[in-house]
Amino acid sequence: MKWKDWWERFRKTEKERQEEQERNEERLLIEEIEKAKEEWLQAQSRLDCVTDPELIDHAIFLIEAAEKKYMYLLRKARKQGIVKEIPMVNAIS
């Protein structure tokens, strides 16, 4: 096998590995976004169930923290070109 042929095969393989790694990273980020959204929704439903005034503050804190995490991950995905725009979340009121 000629050196040039070997190099072309190696280079394509390396490029394919990089592309696969990028796809895996994108998939993991999308999974994180979905998990953060679910955490946000769960925090919202917790607030609806809380009656103790001392726990209401905690529930609000959890909602705000979950929202910030979700929005951060969406911005990160948008910067990486995974998400074109930040979607509206109508399910959260």
Domain borders along the chain are 3-79
pTM above 0.85, yes or no: no
Q: Is the pLDDT of residue 56 over 80?
A: yes
pLDDT at 53: 86
Please classify residue 30 by burial: count the beta carbons closer than 10 Å to its beta carbon, then call 0-12 exposed, 13-18 middle and 19+ buried. Answer: middle
Q: Which residue has the higher pLDDT, 31 or 16?
A: 31
**Alpha carbon of residue 89 to chain centroid:** 14
